[in-house]
Structure 1
Amino acid sequence: MTHLHEHDPSDFYSQEFWDERYSSTGAVWSGNPNPRVVEQLASVTPGRALDIGCGEGADVIWLAANGWDATGVDVSMVALDRAAARAAEAGAAVAAHTTWQQVDIRSWEPPAGQFDLVSAQFMQLPEPTRGDLHRRLAAAVRPGGHLLIVGHHPADLKTSVGRPDVPDIMFTAEQVAAALEPESWEILVCAAPEREIQDPEGNLVAIQDAVLHAVRRH
């Protein structure tokens, strides 16, 4: 998310933007699953999972390797092709439990009540688009299923990690939780845990993630 200020904000969410970014390099992301995915889901019983904005597929591949039937969706076909290739490299057993689909998450409606897990990692959208997305993602979780939404916390803007100076795309876990119907959800985690990453100068910097993990009651 470090180049948003160099583009028209609407371009940043387009297929053209992301296809160009993925095509410009051999890898955009580390290839490792997001740490909050591993932290929050390692002990959750596998089922059918949906990963939003899957990019090069690291989270989907980790889920599939841990027993989930995992679908990854992304706006970029370049990313999805790369993800499918990496799933194949991980072995036939993993690849067989992965599905890839090109969608524009700003308007896509996932099937309601069909998933044991819906995960969205660092989907930094402005309001009201973000709130609309989170409501659609929540509706896709079946009773007993998990919703995991993780994002860049507004506190990161005060650090040297190079977040775009667009406060509206940052959010807190409390903002996500407030959009869930209290009678329908059990909130397992609503927090802003810290972790350390390197800033552009190579210095270790403590940042916060907005982490919302909830289970649908009914």
Structure 2
Amino acid sequence: MAEFDQAYWESHWGPVASDDERRLPVNPYLLAETAHLRGGTALDAGCGHGVEALWLAEQGWQVTAVDISRSALAVARARAATTPAGERVDWREADLSRWEPGRRWDLVVTSYAHAEIGQLPLYQRIASWVAVGGTLLIVGHLPDPHHADAHGHRHPEGATVTSEAITDLFPAPEWRIDAAYERTRIVHPGVSAMQLHDVIVRAQRIA
């Protein structure tokens, strides 16, 4: 299993990855699954270069954006400085495996984040930061079918999860599952296309 520590993520967000990531738009599932929500407080857990955090800020959310990588946050802060929405984002360097924020948010989102504790424990941790009546949105990687082909995207061991495994974490009556589905999509981070196999779960904390 990969060790998703700070060294791993600094390597991931190196110069080549940075150039490629700048070409990607906001995660489409974030747009689709939060369009009906009113702005409030939001946490982007594993914010990377801040694309989603800044989009949320532009929609009126007051955002806390957290990542373990200093390199990624440096890019995010530079991007934030070019838009008025950047003033609505509080950038934090922290390890989601250990961070204790001491508060909750109306919306907690995570897109393809991985931590040393594993996917399901990570999702349980960030779910504890959702306020009563608030929303949790998880976008993750499905296990790669056929171990990914030449047009797919291979993921490190321990980085994938199924929708059933996620939804099992959030039983009634404390939670209500509002969306749980799997999708395959094509992205163009660089000169070639990449196929992603995604799992999306949106849940509301009831109590």
TM-score range, shorter chain: 0.7 to 0.9
Deviation track 1:27-79 (CA, whole Å, cap 9, x = no partner) reads 35135211111111122111100001101100000000000001110011121
Q: Which residue of the partner structure matches residue 185 of structure 1?
A: 175
What is the aligned counterpart of 1:45 among 38, 60, 67? 38
Say whether the 8 Å CA contact 1:31–1:56 is kept in structure 2.
Answer: no
Calculate the TM-score normalised by the size of structure 1. 0.82
Q: What pairs with 1:151-170 in structure 2 (closer than 5 Å)?
A: 151-156=140-145, 157-159=147-149, 160-164=151-155, 166=157, 168-170=158-160
Aligned residues: 203
Deviation track 1:64-109 (CA, whole Å, cap 9, x = no partner) reads 0000001110011121121111111122xx0221010001112223
SS at match of 1:137: helix
Q: Does 1:87 align with 2:84?
A: no
What is the aligned counterpart of 1:55 among 48, 53, 60? 48
Q: What pairs with 1:42-121 in structure 2 (closer than 5 Å)?
A: 42-91=35-84, 94-112=85-103, 114-121=104-111
How far has the Cα of 1:208 moved from its partner?
2.9
Q: What pairs with 1:128-167 in structure 2 (closer than 5 Å)?
A: 129-156=118-145, 157-159=147-149, 160-164=151-155, 166=157
Q: Which residue of the partner structure matches residue 210 of structure 1?
A: 199
Q: Which residue of the partner structure matches residue 27 of structure 1?
A: 19
How far has the Cα of 1:203 moved from its partner?
5.6
Structure 2 runs not aligned, ≥5 long: none
Code of the residue aligned with 2:28 in structure 1: it is P
Higher RCO, Cα 8 Å, sep 6+: 2
Give the alignment's Cα RMSD to 1 decimal: 2.4
Q: Judging by fraction of residues, say which structure has more helix.
A: 1
Calculate the TM-score normalised by the size of structure 2. 0.86
How far has the Cα of 1:158 moved from its partner?
4.0
Structure 1 runs not aligned, ≥5 long: 1-7
